[in-house]
Structure 1
């Protein structure tokens, strides 16, 4: 039983934490892809804003997707 616990502990310590996707930097992209990178960055910023709103309003995980979709639709309608 001890070897199993030891192996499990080593596996947990060796696992690296997942990182969020970094914001796209349009200045570091080839000129022909810059417009797409700017659009992607704008979308990422909108997603982060909605995520922060969900965190502040303490939306339950089961309701988070619906909340984020509604928030993104609302932001898209404003533009």
Structure 2
């Protein structure tokens, strides 16, 4: 019984943490920054699915569509940096 309780309480510990670009070697920092940006987009889409109360069976499709739309839309910070 104790094992089950410990496993239930450690569930969030298995979640993937955000990448910290400052914690990696300088030659991998750009890749870490890109990975962190992707993780943030994924979390935002998951949050939108939570707010919209998407059914679990439709959650992956909703998140995939959200990520595709986010990728297709120009990012304000990126767009202004390239001008």
| TM-score normalised according to structure 1 size | 0.83
Asked whether 1:45 is paired with 2:37, we answer no
Using the TM superposition, give the Cα deviation of residue 22 of structure 1 relative to its aligned residue in structure 2, in angstroms. 1.0
Give the CA RMSD over aligned residues. Answer: 1.1
For structure 2, the residue ranges without an aligned partner over 5 or more in a row are 75-83
Asked whether 1:30 is paired with 2:22, we answer no
Aligned to 1:67: 62
For structure 1, the residue ranges without an aligned partner over 5 or more in a row are 1-8
Tell me the matched-pair count. Answer: 71
Structure exhibiting the larger radius of gyration computed from Cα positions: 1
| TM-score normalised according to structure 2 size | 0.79
